[in-house]
Amino acid sequence: MGSKGRLEGKVAVITGGASGIGEASARLFASEGARVVVADIQDEKGGRLAKEIGDKALYQHTDVGRESDIRGLVERAVASLGRLDIMFNNAGIAGEGGSIESMSVENFDRIVGVLLRGVFLGVKHAAPVMRRQGSGSIINTASTAGLRAGYGNHIYSAAKAGVIGLTRSVSMELGEAGVRVNCICPGFVPTPMIGVARGLTVEEAEARLGIVAESFAEAQPMRGPILPEDIARAALWLASDESRYVNGHALVVDGGVTGGRMWRDYRRATGDLKGVLTRKG
């Protein structure tokens, strides 16, 4: 007999599950024994992914900003698969950049509606199911942009900081019921979302992922790029019983970029300063 997977017998819901980090997580979770509900607005991609995974996966059209969609998603998971052990609130958009005065209220509402409201709704509707079970792992996708300035546009950064704060706050409540709430802060990960935010179609963004990956290769001290699969493995650990006493944690997976100034930049700057100080007038 083969060894059991790390998520054997567990049921996982993954929002934004049709591509990028969500897709990598759906495939990995299923390979580790979980039954997976892939939730997304990309119906063709999501449905195809669920079929590729096989009888361990379902697809559900879900707009994470709509409470009725999230409620229906959780209800289907429980009705079809019997329980809910892992809620991975991963759906995201990058949104538009620019100066603060150039940003519209409509753009603010759209970004926050997905990144923060979507996480809030996922946590809200997973909580009563997991509380009744006395167990569960809720994982939220945050970002290094929620920890340090300069890694995302203003609204994106604010929303991701909100995800980190919400995670820590709710973990104190649900931890008492045996339910863990954590978040992951990815660094520079090449996903289609980046291209879409810059005006490309999903297909065009996917076709140019190699360009994005190349540009991210030296964005952190450890040579990259960081891949969606790297984030999926972090999510797998938080979803599994191996992290059973990890609660209220923001797990940073960024190759060291939030550690501080790049060593090569420091060496360059101090080398230039040495030249200035030793230059003869």
Q: How do residues 237-247 score in pLDDT, each as one tens digit? A: 999 999 999 99
Q: Is residue 233 pLDDT above 80, yes or no?
A: yes
Strand segments, DSSP code E, in 113-168 are 136-141
Does residue 156 carry a catalytic annotation? Answer: yes
Average pLDDT, the chain: 90
Is residue 107 within 8 A of residue 58, CB to CB? The reply is no
| Residue 157 neighbours by CB distance under 10 Å | 19
Q: Is residue 112 pLDDT above 60, yes or no?
A: yes
pLDDT of residue 269: 78
Q: Is residue 151 pLDDT above 90, yes or no?
A: no
Is residue 226 within 8 A of residue 254, CB to CB? The reply is yes
Rounded Cα gap, residues 187 and 219, in angstroms? 9
Rounded Cα gap, residues 126 and 182, in angstroms? 14
pLDDT of residue 238: 98
pTM: 0.90
Query: How does pLDDT run across 197-232, given as a tens digit for each residue?
Result: 666 666 766 777 777 667 777 777 788 788 999 999
- Which among 59, 151, 156, 266 is annotated as catalytic? 156
Tokens of 65: 């900003």
Rounded Cα gap, residues 18 and 14, in angstroms? 9
Of 228, 199, 225, give the one whose Cα is nearest residue 211.
225
What does DSSP assign to residue 226? -
Query: How does pLDDT run across 249-260, given as a tens digit for each residue?
Result: 999 998 888 888
Between residues 113 and 3, the one the model is more confident about: 113
Of 143, 169, 167, give the one whose Cα is nearest residue 157.
143
Q: How many residues does the chain have?
A: 281
Whether the bond into 225 is cis, omega within 30 of 0: yes
Strand segments, DSSP code E, in 106-194 are 136-141, 179-186
Domains of the chain in sequence order: 11-278 (3.40.50.720)
What does DSSP assign to residue 36? E
Helix or strand holding residue 235 (H, E): helix 228-239
| Percent of the chain surpassing pLDDT 70 | 89
Query: How does pLDDT run across 157-188, given as a tens digit for each residue?
Result: 999 999 999 999 999 999 999 999 999 999 88
Number of H helices, E strands in the chain: 11, 7
What residues have CB less than 8 Å from 104, skipping those under 6 apart? none
Collapsing DSSP to helix, strand or coil, 179 comes out as strand
Q: Please count the CA atoms within 13 angstroms of the CA of 22 that sit on its side-chain side.
A: 30
CA dist list (Å): 27 to 21, 126, 213: 10, 21, 21
| Residue 232 neighbours by CB distance under 10 Å | 25
Residue type, 151: Y
Tokens of 72: 């229906």
